[in-house]
Amino acid sequence: MFINNKNNKGVVLLSVLMIILLLSSIAAFIGNKYFISLKRFAYLEYQTQAINYYRGIESISIKRIKDELEANKEYLPRNHPLLNDTFSYEANGGFINTSVEDVSNCININALVNLINNQYKDNEESIKRLKKYFVLKEVDEIYIDEFVDQAIDWIDKDTDPRANGVEDYYYTGPLANPKHYSGMRYFYNITELKPLPITNVIGWENINEFICALPINEQPYININSLEEGDGILLASAFENLSLEDAEYIIFNMPQEGFDQINTFFNNYSNIDFGDVYTGIEFTSNKFQIVSELIADDFNSKSYTTIYYGNNKNGDILSRTYNGI
């Protein structure tokens, strides 16, 4: 019987190559899974460290802000080191940059109502300010009224819709996805305005830029001293007759050291028609945002913490937002 050795050698070689290919595939698969596991472990370690670092930075920043406010209770200009300095701290394998921003000048959507005897009542002055803001944004009046009524309906505790508002029948109806109920509370985050049916009509960019959601019950105000170039619409919306052009002129010509008295401010611009005021006028702030960024070799993340110094002056945390962890 004749056996072809060449054919046998070819079969053996082919088998060996297939075994090598199979082993290589297994090794590559295991190696890839191992690499993914290492990356996941590294990310989880970074995530834990980042949160701990951010909480530590919060404590340092809260004390620093409190000390500055106690030293300058009635006066916080935009050139103050608290609002301009960036602090850096070393971290394992990286560093953290931290800055403080004044967030008192945004238009707080929750200020449309006042909480009185556990009931939400319309805050007429804040409603007028929001309406003027949207007029300056060139939003149609009918849409402005819908936005105001829908926002208040979302906050208030009754189930009766306002003239241009909506209640649970809309949010649980066939067009709602996902279905939910109105909040019957303050907005905690500005993104909670997105489900309002009027939001898409007005445009998110007209809402997100200068409107905020601070879940506090206090009379709103603006800090004249911390207004910056580009904030003209915030100043103009605070006064009945103040034009956007005059507001931008005021901010551009405002002294870096700011003002410390309301009469000094008005006397400095005595040729400008302000009209009635729709919000409080202050020269300091009690609401801040701590912005921290942790930069490491393989990962970056950011933390946004909103701090409110109310009657207890301790620095209450209103919200925390993390990006990248």
Which CATH number do you get for residue 308? 3.30.1300.30
Do the domain assignments include residue 257?
no
Task: Find, among 145, 164, 149, 152, the residue nearest to 115 by Cα.
Answer: 152
Categorize the per-residue pLDDT at 93 as very low, low, confident or very high, splitting at 50, 70 and 90. confident
Do the domain assignments include residue 278?
no
Do the domain assignments include residue 280?
no
Categorize the per-residue pLDDT at 220 as very low, low, confident or very high, splitting at 50, 70 and 90. very high
Categorize the per-residue pLDDT at 182 as very low, low, confident or very high, splitting at 50, 70 and 90. confident
Whether the predicted pLDDT of 41 surpasses 80: no
- Cβ contact 277:238 at 8 Å: yes
Q: Which is higher by pLDDT, 260 or 168?
A: 260
Q: Which is higher by pLDDT, 44 or 246?
A: 246
Give me the pLDDT at residue 5, please: 56
Helix axes 141-155, 124-136, angle to 10 degrees: 140
Whether the predicted pLDDT of 242 surpasses 60: yes
Do the domain assignments include residue 255?
no
User: Domain containing 188: what range?
Assistant: 109-211
Whether the predicted pLDDT of 304 surpasses 80: yes
Do the domain assignments include residue 228?
no
Could you give the number of structural domains in the chain?
A: 2
Give me the pLDDT at residue 43, please: 73
Is the same domain home to 53 and 94?
Answer: yes
Is the same domain home to 134 and 200?
Answer: yes
Distances (CA, A) of 290 to 208, 307, 317, 320: 19, 8, 10, 9
Q: Which of 211, 239, 255 is the last residue of a domain?
A: 211
Q: Which of 156, 176, 211 is the last residue of a domain?
A: 211
Q: Which of 176, 195, 211 is the last residue of a domain?
A: 211
Share above pLDDT 90 across residues of the chain, in percent, rounded to a whole number: 60
Is the same domain home to 201 and 132?
Answer: yes
Q: How far apart are the first and last CA of the chain?
A: 72
Give me the pLDDT at residue 6, please: 55
Do the domain assignments include residue 219?
no
Whether the predicted pLDDT of 141 surpasses 90: yes
Is the same domain home to 128 and 206?
Answer: yes
Q: What global pTM score does this model have?
A: 0.83
Whether the predicted pLDDT of 29 surpasses 70: no
